[in-house]
A and B are shown apart, each in its own frame.
Chain A
Amino acid sequence: MYHLIRWLIRKWRSRSAAQTSAPAQTPGAAPLTDEPAPDEPAPRPAGPPARRLTSPPVSAESKISGAPALSVDGLTKRFGDRVAFQDLSFEVGYGEVFGFLGPNGAGKTTTVRTLGTLFAPTSGSASVAGLPLTRGNGAEIRRRISIMPESPGLYLRLSVAENLECFADLYDAPDPRGQIDRALRAVHLTDRAQDPCGALSKGLRQRVALARALLSDPAVLFLDEPTAGLDPVAARDVHELIDDLRQRGVTIFLTTHRLEEAERLCDRVAILNRTLRIVGRPEELREQMFAKSLTVRTREPLPEPDQVFGGLPAVDGWQADGAHGYVIAVSDTQIAAPAVTRALVQAGADVLSVGESRHSLEDVYLELIDEDEEAGRR
């Protein structure tokens, strides 16, 4: 099975290399103009939400039309000889939820810190919320963005309200009381405002950190593992809040290890492993990484599979998958699936199932990271 998938990938890549003439990017990266289609809604959580989180309103000035919210060109960060990330190039549009995935140590947090003006890039350029990423623009960029680090970093002896008051002043909030109230309502913590942060659970602290990030009414919100340590209900609340922020035009740069979360929330995702491995919409990445295939299950093994599958329209090859299963590489499932089904019936096979192979974002991620590990061993 593994070898078949690798064969399919190689086959697809050789075909796409011949067909496309995309501009040269970071190895493996998709073209930079890969903006989400406006008429194509992002996947939404299924089922009616038990309670709907509402994010504070985003001011009109925080959404700057024209330029992308984030534009990164050949950005590299080194600490001495150690490369944190290298030659990153991508763009993120306003109102887009952009997932940033990668293994531990891939450079995700360093990227966020660099775009958040905490670190100076070693080379390359970027613009954040409409401003070039330069030393002189640091304070102004930080005024337009908000970063929620992985660790909440709250003053544990101070109350929730005292924590937020401090940050409302640091963000020059024009209506600190109102903004604090709205942020607390957004994360359902109004009744805990006077509690010391040290007395809150990890999940509640995470919510306070999220409220703190909303105080500045940001144009770009960087969320570093926002649902880490949250129970499923709290995580769902955060997902709804992200959806709500997206609808209000806030750009969200989401760093996460939860691939199903990224698949569900993000308009596009990037996979980073020191260099940018790939950028695109989750469904595009699946198509890029994995050739189309059908999975067939029969009650008994086929005596002559070559005779059954050989020569069928849109079928490129096949391989056994277990004793009674077959994975069939196809160029078009709409043509191949009926043909395969008919051929199986004509061969007298007892067909249990014929289905299109589905690959998740996790498959894409693991494939790329495995490739890197393999290349590292060579």
Chain B
Amino acid sequence: MSISRRHVRAIFRKELREYRHNGSIVWTMAVIPLIFLLPALIHIFGVAAGSGPSDLLLYMLGIPALVPSVVAAYSVVGERQQGTLEPVLTTPVRREEFLLGKGLAALVPSLAIAYGVYAVVVACVELFADPGVASEVVRWPEVLAQLLFTPLLAGWSIWVGIAISTRVGEVRVAQQLGALASFPSVLVTALIAFGAIPASLGLAIACAVLLLLLNGLGWRVTLAAFQRERLISGTR
């Protein structure tokens, strides 16, 4: 079975167009990063130089964990409630293509926001913070961790969100459950960022492997949960 790129692109483009026309989705995506951005900046600018290396910027990994969950949780149940799911499912699109299109549409803006906000924070620190503090906060291992873990965390949140969206019958319930499901990831990154769990290379590799496995598992679970008949008929 081959995946049609055209089908994936059609779903992806349609989703992006809907974001563009729906201000509330953009605002929801924009507000969450602020929650992470402001406390991080306040803390960094309040720290004195010489207090030692800090993993504080890993806290920003909460953004890719949280931002896509809301959009992903809306993806299937939202279409069901609008009545737009049935026409789409009557086309030759396969569930893999549909889900990939939906997943990509949640992933791309989430990555853009997460990397963008991180870039803003790094730029602010480099430009305005005490040079001693900047060198302690912005370090290559943390930058690499940010680059590597952002897509992994976002992917996990997306598959959990879409899986929830295929199973529940109400958008609000899906979004609440999606946000709730992303909290463990946010909690772990916060504990590492604030030093409760010491960051190390071994921990980074273990987390990366775990997230890769979870992403694979999430894809399979989502695929299994997506059943045309149940989604159209509403039966359990």
Tell me, in angstroms, the Cα distance from A327 to B92 when the chains sit together.
56
B87 touches A212 (CB 8 A): yes
For B4, list chain A residues within 8 Å (CB). Answer: 172
B232 touches A153 (CB 8 A): no
Chain B binding surface SS class: helix
A209 touches B92 (CB 8 A): no
State how many angstroms separate the Cβ of B231 from the closest Cβ of chain A. Answer: 9
State how many angstroms separate the Cβ of B23 from the closest Cβ of chain A. Answer: 10
A153 touches B235 (CB 8 A): no
Interface string of B60-95 (1 = CB under 8 A from A): 000000000000000000000011111111111110
B92 touches A170 (CB 8 A): yes
Residues of A in contact, count (CB < 8 Å):
35
Which of A114-122, A125-133, A315-323, A336-344 interfaces with chain B? A114-122
For A212, list chain B residues within 8 Å (CB). Answer: 87
> Is A142 close to B, CB under 8 A?
yes
> Is A149 close to B, CB under 8 A?
yes
State how many angstroms separate the Cβ of A17 from the closest Cβ of chain B. Answer: 39
B86 touches A153 (CB 8 A): yes
State how many angstroms separate the Cβ of A106 from the closest Cβ of chain B. Answer: 16
For B84, list chain A residues within 8 Å (CB). Answer: 153-155
B88 touches A170 (CB 8 A): yes
For A151, list chain B residues within 8 Å (CB). Answer: 83, 86
Residues of B in contact, count (CB < 8 Å):
30
> Is A79 close to B, CB under 8 A?
yes
State how many angstroms separate the Cβ of A215 from the closest Cβ of chain B. Answer: 9
For A165, list chain B residues within 8 Å (CB). Answer: 10, 13
Tell me, in angstroms, the Cα distance from A147 to B232 when the chains sit together.
14
For B83, list chain A residues within 8 Å (CB). Answer: 149, 151-153
A170 touches B7 (CB 8 A): yes
Which of B14-22, B135-143, B206-214 interfaces with chain A? B14-22
Interface string of A97-118 (1 = CB under 8 A from B): 0000000000000000100111
For A80, list chain B residues within 8 Å (CB). Answer: 235
B: residues with CB less than 8 A from A are: 4, 6-7, 9-11, 13-14, 17-18, 21-22, 82-94, 228-229, 232-233, 235
Q: Could you jot down 27 A-B contacts, CB within 8 Å? A: A117-B228, A118-B89, A118-B90, A118-B228, A118-B232, A119-B229, A119-B233, A139-B93, A139-B94, A147-B87, A153-B85, A155-B18, A156-B82, A157-B22, A158-B14, A165-B13, A166-B13, A169-B9, A170-B7, A170-B10, A170-B11, A170-B92, A171-B91, A172-B6, A172-B7, A172-B92, A196-B21
A: residues with CB less than 8 A from B are: 79-80, 113, 116-120, 139-140, 142-143, 146-147, 149, 151-158, 162, 165-167, 169-172, 196, 209, 212, 216
